Amino acid sequence: MNRRELLCAAASAAVLARAGRLAAQTPRFDLVIKGGRVIDPSLRLDAVRDVGIAAGRIAAVEPTLGAAAATLDARGKLVVPGLIDIHTHAARDAGGPALCLRDGVTCFIDAGSAGADNLDPAVAITKAAPQTGRILVNIGRQGILPDGDTKDLALADVGAARAAIERHRDYVVGLKARLSETVVGKNDVEVLKRAQQVAEPLGLPVMIHMGQSPSSLRELLPILKTGDIVTHMFAPPPNAIVDDAGRLLPEVLAARRRGIVFDVGNGVRDHIRWDIVEQVMRQGFWPDTFSTDWNVMSGTTGVVDFPNCMSKLFGYGMSVPEAIACATVNAAKTFEVFRDRGTLNVGAPADVAILELREGEFEFVDNYENKIKGRQRLFPSETVLKGARVPRA
Ligand SMILES: [Zn+2]
């Protein structure tokens, strides 16, 4: 090595050293969620891990991660994929989506609040939502009506629904048909057929609100197609998913085999009763998805929040990871728009719910003021949306 080569080598060594120092100073992650119990059923993972986030995406899930611009201490808490609530009424109120977000809900569906005639404001609220929201348009053109969405059959207007979806094809991901007698009168079969007339050519799912319908599910379920959703699956008679002796209807089992999704839809009135939950769970017919049927009043009703609804089946044999699966990976499969959600896989959008699993004595209420006791309950703690910690007001 002559003098010139020596100088060259010294210069490049200095450059390398400087680059090395820079790399050490520039954190690899924008945020690391430290030391929580990460439960991600999509990855079959249940272990204490750090979750590293960079550029709004999950960048690493490892036992320990190094430099980060910010850290969030999750020790003693659960770190799970952002929750997906497929039955809410978050788009009825401008403040709705942000309230759901505090509970860990990073994706929501507004299920039938609005019909063709009042879809535009619901879409505007959904577009303005901080998290990912989409809408099921009510086949009743005026949406939810106190006197019944489609008791007047003329309100189940196929042309109006098609035109409304055409206007908002990017936000409408399916249809909702509410089939209780108080909503449809005797029109349930015809209303459901009309919803399918709109949905089928567009390849969209239909969600039916079951329970207290004039017709039996033996007649209604055959009108559903693969990917359609039955919400309020624990609704008591008339026309529950079980017969008078408490046995699951064969049509219900056949529907699940055909790929029809069964969802909880907690709600406030008429949708869930513990004796039905007991019968259904005992026969091994567990929900595919949880949902709240949320509205701005839910904080003070039996819903409370999504993590509370997820805790209600612990006493019927469901484990914590199984409940998380219902609210994450399973729910992500129901709508195309959620296909990259419900997971902490590296590369996925960094939507994360941090929950507390508390032990103690908790009371859970059904829609009939019946109470059960539970020993565990999930509480919302923090939400990370698109890689950023959501401020807790
Ligand atoms: Zn609802």
Question: Could you tell me where the DSSP H helices lie in the chain?
Answer: 3-25, 96-102, 119-128, 158-167, 181-184, 188-202, 217-220, 250-257, 274-282, 306-310, 320-327, 329-332
Tell me the pLDDT tens digit for each residue of 334-360.
999 999 999 999 999 999 999 999 999
CA of residue 100 to ligand 1 center, whole Å: 15
Mean pLDDT of 106-126: 98
CA of residue 53 to ligand 1 center, whole Å: 34
CA of residue 294 to ligand 1 center, whole Å: 7
Mean pLDDT of 240-252: 97
- Residue 209 structure tokens: 């609100």
Mean pLDDT of 58-81: 96
The answer to whether 184 and 210 are in contact (CB under 8 A) is no
Looking at every residue in the chain, the average pLDDT score rounds to 94
- Residue 7 structure tokens: 């100088």
CA of residue 266 to ligand 1 center, whole Å: 9
DSSP lists the bridge partners of residue 389 as 384
Mean pLDDT of 16-42: 80
Neighbours of ion ligand 1 (CB under 5 A): 293
> In the prediction, which pLDDT does 348 show?
98
Reference 92, options 131, 132, 133, 149; nearest CA is: 133
CA of residue 318 to ligand 1 center, whole Å: 24
Mean pLDDT of 205-213: 97
The answer to whether 328 and 39 are in contact (CB under 8 A) is no
> In the prediction, which pLDDT does 192 show?
98
How far apart CA 42 and CA 82 sit, in angstroms, is 12
Buried b (16+ CB within 10 A) or exposed e, 226-255: ebbbbbbbbbbeebbbbbeeeebbeebeeb
Mean pLDDT of 249-276: 97
CA of residue 158 to ligand 1 center, whole Å: 21
Mean pLDDT of 106-112: 98
CA of residue 221 to ligand 1 center, whole Å: 19
CA of residue 89 to ligand 1 center, whole Å: 6
Is pLDDT above 60 for 24? Answer: no
CA of residue 138 to ligand 1 center, whole Å: 10
Is pLDDT above 80 for 10? Answer: no
Phi, psi at residue 206, to the nearest 5°?
A: -115, 135
